[in-house]
Amino acid sequence: MKRILMQSTIPYAEDDWHIGRFGMLRDTLAGMRGEDGEVLFDVTARDRDPVDAPDSVLSQLDASTYDELWLFAVDVGDGLTSEDCEAIGRFRERGGGLLVARDHMDLGSSVCTLGGVGAAHYFHTKHLDPDPSRHQNDDTITTDISWPNYHSGANGDYQRIAALLPLHPVLQDVAYLPSHPHEGGVGKPADDDSARVIATGRSAMSGRAFNLAVAFEPSPRIGPAIAQSTFHHFADYNWDPGTGSPSFVSEAPGHALAASPEAQRSIRRYAENVALWLAGYPIPARG
């Protein structure tokens, strides 16, 4: 059995995106079974320790027995210390799998200091998108949130994705992901040949295509990784708005996902495929 750590980059705060707001993902991963019926993953979900010191788990991750880290960067820039980042880097160097998800503007910008995967994340005041034409608002409804803020739809709705060829294994049997009014920016680091954009979305506001996920292929010297444009692809509120959100979420939710079993299945399939790929497990063909 492989071990997954799901972790936020903030200490627990009830009115924020604490790790408890990703419980449906945790249950999905913990419920996965192999062909022999055995449970595949032991899943631990936790928030980070207070930010005035290295996190007790992340700063020692390379010495732990975890096989995967799903890092939800929900901080405003102070969620990772240098000790945390260095240990996460060593964790990948020993073959660990890593998913890093952030959100709009500068939310989650502490991941900029992560080696490799951090370079795939673009923010508003740090590590800007190298394409200056993207330094402008896409979501023009929520005016207090600036770029990058790609509007793929309402929370609680879903978006059709475009899988780039060759089809990456994590996108097998995946056609939809949750939508969100202001997704962040990700892209292939120019100097990293192990990375490529694997899926794009299209703005419901401007019609412009934008990147949803960047995959980093494993090698004998480093483990696999994925940079995700928004943690809302995995949040309970986006899978089911009835679970609630922090009070600062101002947009009215949609209800399209609740009415589409096909989209629900696709979204869970993506999470399952990512878990399998990061663990080095084969992704079985599904009908």
Question: What pLDDT, in 10s, does the model give residues 54-83?
Answer: 999 999 999 999 999 999 999 999 999 999
pLDDT (0 to 100) of residue 180: 98
Sign for the CA dihedral angle at 51, 56, 60, 66 comes to negative
**Residues of the chain below pLDDT 70:** 287
pLDDT of residue 260: 98
- The reported pTM is 0.98
Q: Are 122 and 183 in contact (CB under 8 A)?
A: no
> What's the pLDDT score for residue 42?
98
Q: How far apart are the first and last CA of the chain?
A: 25
pLDDT for residue 287: 59
In this prediction, residue 30 carries a pLDDT of 98
Question: How many Å apart are CA 213 and CA 199, to the nearest integer?
Answer: 6
